[in-house]
Amino acid sequence: MKTNNNTVLITGGSSGIGATLAKRLSDLGNRVIVCARNEDRLAQIKSRIPSIQTKACDIQDLEQIEALKDDIGSEVNLLINNAGIVQELSLHANADLGAQIKEVDINLNGILRMLHVFLPLMQNHTTAAVVNVTSATAFIAESKAPIYSATKAAQHALTLALRHQLRDTQVKVFELIPPLTDTPMAAHVEGISKLSPDEVASAFIAGLEKDRYEIAPGLSRAARLMSRVAPRFAFSQLNK
């Protein structure tokens, strides 16, 4: 997949990995559009990276996604589904059901809405790709974040199926599998080594250029392997 001269749409790109991808891809000569719910954060990233465009859009709202499509849809040939939230909660301690369902709606249903709206248009391009940003927890569940882990596992399965369904089209399907990364989402996690967002972005760009469909930087590669050869041991080590 070429890494320049694309029109890139990144969901949840106002901070963390998404913001770093926006900067790196813009520097490579791509037109980059970042969408997120928080307009203040969008204004902040625009001030830091003047070359990008920003669009306010809530991926829980199909009408807002349709409006985004009407604005830029036919031009997008690289869609990066990065938006997501993580909550640490106990399922047996009367956790807020609404919060659990919201996490599923953003992390999984948000991707489904984006694909529903943008994928038909992307198939009109000679070069196109979908990138789903999952997590090492897609392979080894983190018990403190059960909904997040479940949605990331579902995203992984969805990515595999989508890649197979689109195998005879011009749309490539990638999965970026970050390990624990030094972002605001992981700021509360201490005592564990974290990759920088820039290291994740470098691995992504290298993998995209080489058509490496599963890009697993850092400890994600080991997590993916351990989940296959010693799943119980891997789970016990993560959830000590």
Q: Report, as residue numbers or ranges, the catalytic residues.
A: 148
Q: What angle do CA 51, 85, 190 make, to 5 degrees?
A: 95
Spatial distance between the Cα atoms of 209 and 25, rounded to a whole number of angstroms: 12
Angle between helices 231-238 and 219-229 (to 10 degrees): 130
- Residue 58 and residue 46 in contact, taking contact as beta carbons nearer than 8 Å: no
Residues in Cβ contact with 40 at an 8 Å cutoff, skipping those fewer than 6 apart: none
Collapsing DSSP to helix, strand or coil, 169 comes out as coil
Spatial distance between the Cα atoms of 32 and 16, rounded to a whole number of angstroms: 16
38-41-42-48 Cα dihedral, nearest 10 degrees: -170
